[in-house]
Structure 1
Amino acid sequence: MAIRRLLRGDLSDAAVESVVEAVAERYGLPADRVTFLEADNWLSTPLVIDDEVFVKVITDRHTLVHALLTAGRNLGAFSSGTEGFFGHFDSPVEMAEHELAATRRIRELGLDAPEPIEAFEVDGLGVLVLEYLPEFRTLDVLDAAAVRDHAPGLFGALSTMHADGLVHGDLRAENVLVADGDLYFIDATNVRGDGLDDAQAYDVACALGALAPEIGAQATVTAALTAYSPAELLDARAFLDFVNIRPDHSFDAAAVKGEIEKVAT
């Protein structure tokens, strides 16, 4: 547990106070209530100020963990027969600025994401400020019927991103929020432009892996076909084993592969 706390870069009280003061001053908030969110997040410390803004605080250790995860993911990409396509960040503020820019691009495409407000630095910490969605559920806590209803929309949104050259890079159920019946996408990661095609296939594989445990392989592949061709699903098939060894995915990869092979033949 000590190692896990170390890697997650727990913030000191003084660091939290500095960040909260900076955010409160910038946006005229009283900062009467600061709530730390219960999240198994290795890449930031998330908190909410006055139920008005959502703030991610990124430390040097979070940047280090991201670099380690990036190296592991690139090795996994190699194992799938392609070059690694994940990129790393040089500093906490660069991580914050990237997510701000990615969130803006998602919204510019007409898709839903929390409104991006600002990214800046406080005492070497990266600070990302986003709209706070007070009432949302992550995709993995919905019942199967609701997930099935949202599945075509998820693949459609992903296809819209890909058509514009945007790759999410970390698509999993916890990074798709449902609020007022709409899908909101968060936590897009850094993908190098020279690996765009492979990264898009990886995105599709992650979406297949996120939905299959909730609605089954057949329904998942059927939903994917509303936005992607059988040939594109075959490209994603190459990454399914890699996705399945990630600790945040667990699904029957063989069943998904079988369904893809049925529609591709």
Structure 2
Amino acid sequence: MLDKIRVGIFNLSSCEGCLVQILNLEDILLNILKNFEVESRVLGTLGKSEPYDIAFVEGSVMSIEDEMELKKIRGASRILVALGECACHGGNFLVKDFDVGEINEMFPGSEKWYSHPLDRYVSVDYRILGCPIDKEEFFTVFKSLLLEKFPEQASFTVCSECILKENSCLIEKGLACLGPITRGGCKAICPTFNRECYGCRGLSDDANIEGLLHTFKEKNINIQPYTLPPKKGEVKKP
């Protein structure tokens, strides 16, 4: 019998979609929890069961409270895994950090609002990418971490997966698809259903952003320009 492995599953500011994907494993998850005697705390806060061997954290840091909770989790965990796009890169909420006129008009708010990835505040040992995550990928990573192994991230792009699936190219259809510069591993699920890839798995290792922008220009694909957020310590200009 293996020693009991303590696993914590927490969420910060998020839609909790990645947690739903974990629950979608259903019997598979229950079996592995039983076989490995894993102690899990879903949607929990730190309690008597700390420290944790592995902590999965979903969501981005959008408040001082999130930051404090994250640092407590990091201090109580041997391995910390960023779970999903929000935790890895700031997620869709990251638009709050950009000066986008339409968004500002629709959702007026304080300049203090922000959305930051976990590694801005603590060290992260592994990242499970996607919005939401892929449940099979989570299961594979979970099993590997139990064996003290860290799987390599996909080195190919979403565009490569589209080619293998013989999907029609959305860029050729005039859509601003980010598949050529986005890290693969999602099975090209969005382009497969005729939705542009919006880069939820982050940039691929050899992402040619300028090349893609040139292609968009050649094909008259319009993209709304964004103003990049200021670096930490800088003051945003009005």
Task: Give the TM-score, by structure 1 length.
Answer: 0.27
Q: Which has the higher helix share?
A: 1
The TM-score normalised by the length of structure 2 is 0.29
